[in-house]
Structures are given as C-alpha cells and as structure tokens.
Amino acid sequence: EILAWLEFRRVLFRSLEGLRTFCITPALMDNKLAKASTYTLAVAIYFDRLFDREKCEKVTICIDTRAGKGWPNTHAVRLIPFLKHSLKVLLDLFPLRLHKVLVYPVPSSFLCIWKTISKCMDPLTAKSVFVLQGVCKINAPLPVEKLSDHLGVEQLEHLEASRIASFKI
C-alpha cells in the first residue's frame, strides 16, 4: 500500500537530456500510515526493482510539492526530513544514478532553509538538486517557465494531467 503512492504517480517520459524521469508527490504521503523514512525506503525498493544492475542508467526525479484534492497534503516545509533522508538513502544505495532532482514549487521560506541545508551537503549532490520557487496550493499551476529548462512541453502537460487525474473527489 505504501508503494502505491509512488507507483500511481509514476510518469514514464524522458528529460531534455534524454534520461528517464519519475515524479514523486509527497502530498500523497500519509504520515498516519507510515513515517517519512518508510516512504523513503519504499522509493529505494521501487528503484531497486526498476534498475538493471548491469547498466549505469541515470534518472531525473521530479518532486511535486503541490497539494491535491482528497490527499493528506503534508506542507512543503514539513517535507524537509523526507527530502534530506531520501537524498542520503538514494545516493548511498544508487551511487551515480541520480542525475537531477527537481523540487517544485516551494515557498520562499523553503528556499532559505534549502540554502542552509545544501551548504552541509556534498557539493556535487547539492548541485544536482534544483529547488524551484512557487505556490504549492491545490490550484497552483505547474511552474512551467522554471521547469522548461529541464523538461519538454509534452512532459510538463503529462505531469499536470497525471496529477489532476489522481485527485480524489
């Protein structure tokens, strides 16, 4: 059941660099069901099943922090432990696989926190994480202008359609 939140939001497309891209929607995580660290392990299990160990495929991960209708809707600032733990675990378990992480949209307060956190990280890891400011409410639009440096128009449309289709009315 925990893997369902990731599997449901799996988006199969490639970034502008030609890398397979996946979307994680933390607002779907239910903290009453499991801790954030459990969700991190679910992502690790998912990737372990997905990757061919004989190949050195790199991926881009999109983390859409916007809320959704009928979701548990954890606030973006409360996602810091999940993001920090996820980066550490995924980088330890899948070295050299993570090409880029796009975290969007986040409030300006999160940007200040990220600047502090990123100074304590490995510089190469910090450079691969792109934190994009914006409104993370339910009806907030996808920050197309900020994501267009990383994803094509078709991929952005697919991300938004997939998110809206997962709303629980």
Res 59 pLDDT > 70: yes
Arithmetic mean of pLDDT over the chain: 84
Q: Which amino acid is at 102?
A: L
CB 143 within 8 A of CB 104: yes
Q: How many Å apart are CA 26 and CA 36, to the nearest integer?
A: 9
- The contacts of residue 129 (CB under 8 Å, 6+ apart) are 87, 100, 101, 103, 114, 118
**pLDDT the model gives residue 12:** 65
> What pLDDT is stored for residue 69 in this prediction?
94
Q: What is the mean pLDDT of residues 2-27?
A: 73
| C-alpha dihedral, 108 to 29 to 130 to 45, nearest 10° | 160
Mean pLDDT of 1-13: 54
Q: What is the pLDDT of residue 6?
A: 55
Six token digits for residue 105:
């949209």
Res 127 pLDDT > 50: yes
pLDDT in tens, 93-112: 887 888 999 999 988 888 88
pLDDT at 7 over 50: no
pLDDT reported for residue 132 = 94
Ranges 3-7, 24-28, 147-151: which has the least confidence: 3-7
pLDDT exceeds cutoff 90 at 122: no
